[in-house]
Structure formats: structure tokens, C-alpha cells
């Protein structure tokens, strides 16, 4: 059975599902805090440029590979290599994505567990009237408690596997169909709330009046790396979902829609967070704790904070959940297609491996002595296992995977195969081809060199 026997029921469904895979903690948790660390508006402009000049072209290439190959990522790339009469070793571009995506998921499900755990905290109004210090304490205690971390990441993994086990039509579509629109509506409502009740003027000038003096070359490269992460590129997902895409659908237009939806969620998230941050005189550049430490302070002080806070964390769980579903799906699809597993068996196996891998991150956050390390891992000083997995994925596998896709499609695959699959020969194709052949390899090489400390 090839993957193609299961298809998205419509182009709209593919857009919703692929957007669900792209939108996640990267948009709502990571984007606002790295933007805060890198100077606001100027960083945002660079990030937008990276999305449009590099992210979208690679996204198009990945969806194209998936649809033409109609198999799981590694085998799809291999099928195209065979069709093009080039070395099948290029299939590594697909396999790297599976490995990278699975490793990302091992810590992603732990952070998704944080979001889950914050739902009951918000619902019961436990932030109400607390000081910044007390809320920092709550986060510190929670994020270092082994049992709590284990419980919530296990919940995320089990729920993800249950949905994926039901299959694309029965499981994924049914869940994603209402999850994504609900997420969007919640964000719009929260942004409106924040605009009225927060310091909208300050947030607007922070976001939309770029101060280029704060922008360094390092920030530019962070923005480029995040463009990859946020669109779920080089993680197998977009190729896998592309394999479910009906033949007549325009890959160009669909990919642009996905990127626009993903970007608008990130911008909306920033518009929820920054008016609140400034209204309560909090630090925009405080780092990864921004959501889990800063927002609860605002929720604790604003009227109806328990309600607003609950909505926010529920929304974050939704966003993370559609990403974890996508991730497991690409591994499950491969096990079912190539290794003869049933969907349920494949979910059980990949869920178990994932759960074991997630223990590395759980133990790291719990601060176990055995997880502590200290060495320079390809240009980054790592201090625990989580740091190693994080850098192995975002620092190495994503940039290298993206580079491999761009070189394969831009330099190995004959141009006419791309023209045929994309059903385009006009200016749009020409633009995309320049981006995939030149812009992407050069830019990704720069990111890679920077991340590995070569320059």
C-alpha cells in the first residue's frame, strides 16, 4: 500500500493540516521571546524576509518531493532520484528529516506538557494576585519536578499516538479540522483583549518601528534558522503531508497559504504577548520563560484572568498537539508502508521509543546529576542532554537537511521534473528556481557555518 491510497479530502484540509504542523510552540512560545531578545521590529523584518525568500521555496520543494514520490520522506526522495537517474544516496535528505523530526519531538512533547500542565493552573486561578517572584517560583518548581514533567509529557505522547493510530481520515482530519480554526479565533480574541487592556501603543512601536541598531549578524542567522523551524522544514513532515496531496492542487499557491497562516499566527501571538508585557512593565528580552513566567503575571492581575489564561494555555496545547501529531505521523507512515506494521502497532512502537527519548529531556529539566555535561558540541557549549538534542536538531540536522533538499532539487533533479510536478513554467517557477538553486544553499550554508562556529 502506498501512502497515496490515503489522501486529504480536499485542498483546504491539506492546508489546515500542514498549517497545524507548522504552527506550534515555535510560533507562540519561541517567536515572541527570540524577537524580544533580538530587538523587536528589525528582527521581525529579517524573519519575514527569510520566510519569503528561503522558507517558502524549501516548503514548495518538500511538498513537491512528497507528492511526486507518494511515499514516506526517505523513499520519496529515492523514487525521485531513480526517476531522475541520479545517485539514490540523495534519499538521505528524506531520512535525515525523519530522524531530526523525531528528535525534535522528544523535547517538544515535554514543552507541550508544560502547556498542558498550565491549563489546570490557569483554570483554578492559581496565578491570581501573585507577585512576579511568586509566579517565577511556580514555574521554577514545576519545570524541575521530575514526576510532574513525566506525567504531562506522557499524557501528550499517549494522546498523540491515539489520534495517529486512527489514521489520516478518521483521526487526523477530524481533530485538526476544528483545532486549527479554534486556535486562530482564540488568538484573535486574545489579541483584541490585549489591545484594549494592555499597552498597545508601546507594543506596536516595539513590533512595527524597527530599530536596526539592535540587529547583529547573529540575529539575522537566528531569524533564518527559526524560519526553518517554524515551517517544520527538514523534519519529514511536509514531505509526508505532500504525499497525501491530491494531484491537481497547485503546490505554489498552497505553500504560500501555509506560510502566510503560520506567519500570521506568530505575529498574532506577539500581539497578544507584547501589550501585556509592556502593560505590566515586564522584560521583553527575558528569554524562554517569557510565556510561562510573564503571561501568568498578567493573567493574575487582569480582570477575568483565570478565563483569559485558561483560553491561552488551551490554545497553546492545541498548537503543540497538531505539531506532535504531524511528527509521529511521518514515522508511522514509514513503518506501515515499508515495514508491514499495522497503524496501531506502528503508533505503539514509535510512541514507546519517543517516550524513552523524552526521558532524556525530562531528566535534564529535573536537574539529575547524570544528565549534566559540559563540553563544546560543534560550536555550542552544552550543559545537559536536552542541550545536546536541541543543538543536534536545530543546529545541525535542520540546516543540513534543508541544504540537502535544496541541492537535490536545485542541482540534481532535472528542471523539467520540477516544472511538470509544479505545473508551472512562468515567472513564478523562475523565481522559485533561483531561490532553491542559489539563495537557499548559500543562506543555509551561512547559518550552518555560524551554528557550528566556523564563522
401 binds ligand TRP (CB under 6 A): no
C-alpha dist (Å) from residue 81 to 90, 180, 236, 245: 7, 35, 17, 20
229 binds ligand TRP (CB under 6 A): yes
Which one of residues 8, 14, 20, 24 is an interface residue with ligand TRP (CB under 6 A)? 24
- CA nearest to 26, candidates 225, 311, 286, 236: 225
109 binds ligand TRP (CB under 6 A): no
Binding mask 35-74 for ligand TRP (x = CB under 6 A): ----------------------------------------
22 binds ligand TRP (CB under 6 A): yes
Which one of residues 109, 235, 240, 450 is an interface residue with ligand TRP (CB under 6 A)? 235
- CA nearest to 173, candidates 163, 183, 182, 181: 163
Backbone angles phi, psi at 181, to 5 degrees: -60, -35
Least distance (Å) between residue 235 CB and ligand TRP:
3
Q: Which is nearer to ligand TRP, 203 or 233 (CB)?
A: 233
334 binds ligand TRP (CB under 6 A): no
* Number of residues binding to ligand TRP, judged by CB under 6 A: 16
CB-side neighbour CA atoms (13 Å) of 428: 14
Cell output for 294: 510573564
Which one of residues 25, 44, 149, 311 is an interface residue with ligand TRP (CB under 6 A)? 25
Name which of residues 313 to 332 contact ligand TRP (CB under 6 A): 323, 326-327
Task: In whole angstroms, give the CA distance from residue 264 to residue 269.
Answer: 8
350 binds ligand TRP (CB under 6 A): no
Least distance (Å) between residue 33 CB and ligand TRP:
13
What DSSP string describes 328-397? HHHHHHHHHHHH---HHHHHHHHHHHHHHHHHHHHHHHTT-GGGEEEEEETTEEEEEHHHHHHIIIIIII
106 binds ligand TRP (CB under 6 A): no
Q: Cell 506502528 belongs to which residue?
A: 346
Report the interface residues with ligand TRP, using CB under 6 A: 21-22, 24-27, 101, 104, 229-230, 232, 235, 237, 323, 326-327
Amino acid at each position: 500500500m502506498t501512502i497515496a491510497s490515503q489522501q486529504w479530502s480536499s485542498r483546504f484540509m491539506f492546508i489546515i493540516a500542514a498549517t497545524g504542523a507548522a504552527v506550534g510552540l515555535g510560533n507562540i512560545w519561541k517567536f515572541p521571546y527570540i524577537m524580544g531578545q533580538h530587538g523587536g521590529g528589525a528582527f521581525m523584518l529579517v524573519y519575514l524576509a527569510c520566510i519569503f525568500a528561503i522558507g517558502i521555496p524549501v516548503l514548495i520543494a518538500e511538498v513537491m518531493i512528497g507528492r511526486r514520490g507518494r511515499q514516506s520522506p526517505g523513499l520519496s526522495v529515492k523514487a525521485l532520484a531513480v526517476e531522475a537517474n541520479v545517485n539514490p544516496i540523495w534519499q538521505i535528505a528524506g531520512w535525515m528529516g525523519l530522524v531530526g523530526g523525531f528528535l525534535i519531538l522528544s523535547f517538544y512533547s515535554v514543552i507541550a506538557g508544560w502547556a498542558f500542565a498550565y491549563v489546570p493552573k490557569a483554570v483554578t486561578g492559581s496565578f491570581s494576585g501573585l507577585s512576579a517572584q511568586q509566579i517565577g517560583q511556580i514555574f521554577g518548581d514545576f519545570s524541575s519536578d521530575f514526576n510532574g514533567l513525566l506525567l504531562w509529557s506522557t499524557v501528550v505522547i499517549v494522546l498523540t499516538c491515539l489520534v495517529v493510530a486512527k489514521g489520516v481520515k478518521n483521526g487526523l482530519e477530524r481533530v485538526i479540522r476544528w483545532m486549527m480554526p479554534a486556535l486562530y479565533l482564540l488568538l484573535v480574541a486574545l489579541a483584541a483583549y490585549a489591545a484594549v487592556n494592555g499597552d498597545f501603543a508601546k507594543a506596536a512601536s516595539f513590533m512595527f518601528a524597527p530599530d536596526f541598531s539592535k540587529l547583529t549578524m547573529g540575529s539575522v542567522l537566528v531569524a533564518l534558522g527559526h524560519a526553518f523551524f517554524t515551517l517544520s522544514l527538514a523534519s519529514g513532515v511536509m514531505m509526508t503531508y505532500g504525499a497525501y496531496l491530491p494531484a491537481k492542487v497547485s503546490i505554489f499557491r498552497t505553500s504560500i497559504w501555509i506560510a502566510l497562516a503560520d506567519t500570521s499566527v506568530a505575529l498574532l501571538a506577539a500581539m497578544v504577548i507584547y501589550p501585556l508585557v509592556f502593560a505590566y512593565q515586564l522584560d521583553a528580552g527575558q528569554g524562554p520563560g517569557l510565556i510561562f513566567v510573564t503571561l501568568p503575571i498578567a493573567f493574575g492581575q487582569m480582570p477575568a484572568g483565570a478565563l483569559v489564561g485558561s483560553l491561552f494555555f488551551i490554545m497553546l496545547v492545541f498548537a503543540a498537539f497538531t505539531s506532535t501529531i504531524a511528527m509521529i505521523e511521518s514515522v508511522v507512515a514509514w513503518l506501515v508502508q515499508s515495514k508491514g506494521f499495522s497503524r496501531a502497532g506502528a503508533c505503539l512502537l514509535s510512541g514507546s521509543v519517543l517516550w524513552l527519548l523524552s526521558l532524556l529531556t525530562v531528566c535534564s529539566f529535573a536537574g539529575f546529576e547524570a544528565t549534566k555535561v559540559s563540553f563544546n558540541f560543534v560550536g555550542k557549549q552544552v550543559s545537559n542532554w536536552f542541550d545536546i538534542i536541541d543543538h543536534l536538531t536545530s543546529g545541525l540536522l535542520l540546516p543540513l537537511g534543508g541544504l540537502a533538499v535544496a541541492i537535490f532539487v536545485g542541482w540534481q533533479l532535472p528542471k523539467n521534473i520540477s516544472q511538470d510536478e509544479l505545473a508551472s513554467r512562468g515567472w513564478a517557477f523562475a523565481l522559485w528556481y533561483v531561490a532553491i538553486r542559489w539563495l537557499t544553499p548559500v543562506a543555509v550554508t551561512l547559518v550552518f557555518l555560524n551554528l557550528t562556529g566556523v564563522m
